[in-house]
Structure 1
Amino acid sequence: MYRRPTQQRLAHNRGFTLVEILVVIVIIATLAGMAVMSLGSSSARVWEGEVRRLSALLQLVSDRALIDKSHYGVVLEPESYTVVRFDPTTMTWQAPDAAMAGNRSQRFAFHELPPNVRLELIAGAELPSTESTEFAEEESADADEESAKPQFVALSSGEILPVELVMYLVEDGEFARGATISYNSLYGLQLEWQADEF
């Protein structure tokens, strides 16, 4: 027996209303906007992570110097940085021995910055120079040792030789953002996020 569709069934089969279509379009546009924003700021997130990583490393190095009763330093280059330890027998700064560093060896390893992140030293540690002729001869003979002098130094006494540096985010060949990291014995570690645009 054939039954005629009721008026209610016919209304249900007609399709989507204009309001339903508009709601779906708004949801899709919102999700697309969020995806574009998250992709666009990925370089900023990487830069922020690098700033926090270097700040944490400086704090860790100063703590290790006090615990290990050794002088530690960080050699800062525009595109990289590495931790060094003062060897009193040779009177030189050297990479920490992996056996001595233990679990810290990975944290203290050479770190290269991403291509869009740059370091600029404003004021580094002023290391005392020895005036003996032996040391001067060694210094001139080993030019590589001179380049390995750290700009951040944490002494075994807990004292920090003052340092101030800026880590920049580079976009389209120009500095887009910056963060100033300063560390000294009096105020400790200070991190200042600069304005988004210079």
Structure 2
Amino acid sequence: MPISTIANCSGKAALRQRGFTLVEILVVVTLVAVFAAVLIPNLHIGSERELDQGAVRLQELLVAVGEQSVFSGELLGVRLKEDRIEAMRFDPEAQKFVPFGGDSRAGLGSWDLGDDLRLSWELEKVEQDGGSSPFTAGFGLVEAAEARLTAGEKDDDKDSRPQLFFFPSGEATPAHFKLELIGSDRMPVELELDALSRATLIKDEEE
């Protein structure tokens, strides 16, 4: 076979080999696009499910702390951060709030929200109605107790104590919460804690 013919054959083989490589790349790119189209919506749905589950977990934690305070007769609290929630109890000997301990209180420990969820909150005042309603009876005592717990505290004490107090009487510090999914267009899930330790998820009007 002439040398020129051999060279032509080698060139055609190289072109065919190069063409197969390009086709393979196109196939891979197409498959990646297809998988991305399938997986990304599922990831989005999974993240929104995480937000809903987080809101329910927050609700259950607040209710559990309130019930534990009533059943045990202890003064309890919840320390709030934007990425962490920690249940606490008042230690009479140390005269300060400390984290929960022991196996029996494992369910009332701390909760790290992770990288996707963020919490914001606003403490609320109890609206008095002159004492005509049984639901507002004694709330002045609760506010007085909170003032006593926080009076004269140092900055270190303020940073380590809870913002929410739960009393054995069944009363608690009212607050409004928003749990947000970072990077999502979805509206935050809102929750109310009233002065009777009732935690209620606020339903979206569109639902």
Give the TM-score normalised by the residue count of structure 1.
0.66
2:46 to 42, 49, 53: 42
Deviations 1:111-162 (A, max 9, x none): 111212101112268621369xxx73xx33xx43211221222101111221
User: Are 1:191 and 2:191 counterparts?
Assistant: no
Show the 5 A alignment for 1:17-28.
none
SS in 2 for 1:49: helix
Is the Cα–Cα contact under 8 Å of residues 62 and 197 in structure 2 kept in the other structure? no
Given the superposition, is the C-alpha separation of residues 34 and 51 from structure 1 closer, same or farther in structure 2, using an over 3 Å criterion? same
Corresponding residue for residue 20 of structure 2: none
Structure with the larger helix share: 2
Is the Cα–Cα contact under 8 Å of residues 55 and 181 in structure 1 kept in the other structure? yes
Shift of 1:85: 0.3
Shift of 1:93: 0.9
Q: Which runs of 5+ in 2 are unaligned?
A: 1-35, 126-142
SS in 2 for 1:57: helix
Structure with the larger strand share: 1
SS in 1 for 2:56: helix
- Larger mean CA deviation between 144-153 and 61-70 belongs to 144-153
Shift of 1:33: 7.8
- For 1:144, give the aligned amino acid: D
Corresponding residue for residue 94 of structure 2: 90
In the alignment, the residues of structure 1 paired with residue 200 and residue 71 of structure 2 have an alpha-carbon distance, to the nearest angstrom, of 22
Corresponding residue for residue 189 of structure 2: 179
In the alignment, the residues of structure 2 paired with residue 158 and residue 117 of structure 1 have an alpha-carbon distance, to the nearest angstrom, of 29
Corresponding residue for residue 146 of structure 1: 158
SS in 2 for 1:158: coil
Q: Specify which structure has the bigger relative contact order, considering alpha-carbon pairs within 8 angstroms and separated by 6 or more residues.
A: 2
Is the Cα–Cα contact under 8 Å of residues 118 and 167 in structure 1 kept in the other structure? yes
1:164 to 173, 176, 180: 176
In the alignment, the residues of structure 1 paired with residue 149 and residue 64 of structure 2 have an alpha-carbon distance, to the nearest angstrom, of 28
RMSD: 2.8
Corresponding residue for residue 78 of structure 2: 74
Is the Cα–Cα contact under 8 Å of residues 47 and 117 in structure 1 kept in the other structure? yes
Given the superposition, is the C-alpha separation of residues 169 and 85 from structure 1 closer, same or farther in structure 2, using an over 3 Å criterion? same
